[in-house]
Amino acid sequence: MINLYPLARPILSALSAETAHNLTIFGLKSGLGPSSKQKDDPCLSTQVFGLKLPNPVGLAAGFDKNADVSNAMLNVGFGFVEAGTVTPKPQAGNDKPRLFRLVEDKAVINRFGFNNKGLEYFTARLKNRRPGGIVGANVGANKDATDRTEDYVTGIMALYGLSDYFTVNISSPNTPGLRALQSRDSLNDLVTRVLAARQAKMDAGMQRIPILVKIAPDLTEEDIKDIAAVALDNALDGLIVSNTTITRPSTLTSAHKSEIGGLSGAPLKKLSTDTLAQIYRATGGKITLIGVGGISSGADAFDKIAHGASLVQLYSALAYDGPSLVADIKTELTEILKEKGFASVSDAVGSAVKL
């Protein structure tokens, strides 16, 4: 099925970006997705926050908003899949059009605004996931919530035991005011409350589920110090670096470059990697990091790992290169690790950063 993508690509490219995405999800739900037969090299196997993964290459949140196709995307060859962002109540998101291809820049701009079917639907889908694969749940807050932190607590309480880890998404630029939760006092309050929710579940006899926070790339040096301090003080399991950017590099050439929303894809790579390295240094390498932003090759994945990421995630590049990209990234990453003398992914983490 992977080899059919070149035939489908012209059709998908002729459709609006969101229509093409919805059609892709429909096809995957219908069982038309590819299934990789590639066997991961043992050097790609890694273990983070108590989870053993066959490889460090994951699917970023945003592709599978409603946990409809986590099984199908694991079949593509991802080491783990992150579903969401899900909010307690269903919401339509922002007005269309809200997804734009910047083909010349190998980039995407979106302003979805957490469109999703809500916790009830998401919960039902996660209950049907196949055993064995690692699936995370990315939780968010409804736009009209009076206490957004409580929405994150609600999501974690409702989904507890159904996902292998949680990501608290406070860095989307498409929900007004959401990024303010990254300030030190707000973030400390949020982390304290979501960890208390986890402790309540553990006190009731349930297992410990890792909780991560996804942050923006558009942070000041002071912001990074504050986030690192909160993460360390609360023994947070990890940080995902980073979400999309509201900045617009001068190198952009697409006609859509001025659209409002979060920019992802190739132009995000340097900014997100620089932020990753800063967070790695600020936390002294003591917090597990997932690197996201601009990954479209094994070399890109290795660059994230060398700058502090234990795992990596991608999404935008799939729109341009198709599902076979996952196997290509893993093959090239394996070659690079061996060429540089690293026996495993974990051995290479942070190798380009001086602490």
DSSP secondary structure string for all residues of 253-279: -STTTT-SSEEEEGGGHHHHHHHHHHH
Which residues define the annotated binding site for FMN? 61-65, 85, 138, 169, 214, 242, 265, 294, 315-316
Q: Which amino acid is at 100?
A: F
How many H-runs (helices) and E-runs (strands) does the chain carry?
12, 13
Q: Strand order of the sheet with strand 99-102?
A: 99-102, 107-110, 262-265
Residue 85 has pLDDT above 70, yes or no: yes
Q: 21 in a domain, yes or no?
A: no
Q: DSSP state, 289?
A: E
Span 18-39, mean pLDDT? 90
Q: DSSP state, 36?
A: -
Is-contact 296 314, C-beta < 8 A? yes
Q: 23 in a domain, yes or no?
A: no
The residue count of the chain comes to 355
Tokens describing residue 340:
């540089």
Q: State the pLDDT at residue 218.
A: 95
Share of the chain above pLDDT 90, in %: 91
Out of 6-10, 252-256, 294-298, least confident range? 6-10
Is-contact 100 259, C-beta < 8 A? yes
Average model confidence (pLDDT) for the chain?
95
pLDDT in tens, 42-81: 999 999 999 999 999 999 999 999 999 999 999 999 999 9
Tokens describing residue 248:
């617009």
| Pairing status of strand 51-53 against strand 46-48 | antiparallel
| 207 CB neighbour count, 10 Å cutoff | 9
Q: 24 in a domain, yes or no?
A: no
Residue 215: strand pairing partners: 241
Span 313-325, mean pLDDT? 94
CA–CA gap between residue 243 and residue 291 (Å, rounded): 10
Q: State the pLDDT at residue 10.
A: 87
DSSP secondary structure string for all residues of 130-192: PTTSEEEEEE---TT-SSHHHHHHHHHHHHTTTSSEEEEE---TTSTTGGGGGSHHHHHHHHH
* pLDDT band for position 1 (cuts 50, 70, 90): very low
CATH no. for residue 46?
Answer: 3.20.20.70
Residue 214: strand pairing partners: 169, 240
Q: 30 in a domain, yes or no?
A: no
Q: State the pLDDT at residue 66.
A: 98
Residues acting as catalytic residues: 172
Q: Which amino acid is at 188?
A: N
Is-contact 152 141, C-beta < 8 A? yes
Task: Give CA torsion, residues 85, 88, 94, 98, to 10 deg.
Answer: 20
177: containing domain = 38-348
**Residue showing tokens 């980039």:** 107
Which residues define the annotated binding site? 61-65, 85, 110-114, 138, 169, 174, 214, 242-244, 265, 294, 315-316
Span 12-34, mean pLDDT? 91
Residue of 108, 244, 272 lying closest to 174 (CA atoms): 244
Q: State the pLDDT at residue 9.
A: 80
CA–CA gap between residue 268 and residue 305 (Å, rounded): 16
Residue of 254, 293, 300 lying closest to 272 (CA atoms): 293
pLDDT in tens, 217-230: 999 999 999 999 99
Span 112-135, mean pLDDT? 94
CA–CA gap between residue 98 and residue 133 (Å, rounded): 31
Q: 137 in a domain, yes or no?
A: yes
pLDDT in tens, 170-214: 999 989 899 999 999 999 999 999 999 999 999 999 999 999 999
CA–CA gap between residue 38 and residue 76 (Å, rounded): 9
Q: 22 in a domain, yes or no?
A: no
Q: State the pLDDT at residue 4.
A: 61
Q: 162 in a domain, yes or no?
A: yes
Q: 105 in a domain, yes or no?
A: yes
Counting the structural domains of the chain, the total is: 1
C-alpha of 250 from chain center = 25
CA–CA gap between residue 317 and residue 124 (Å, rounded): 29
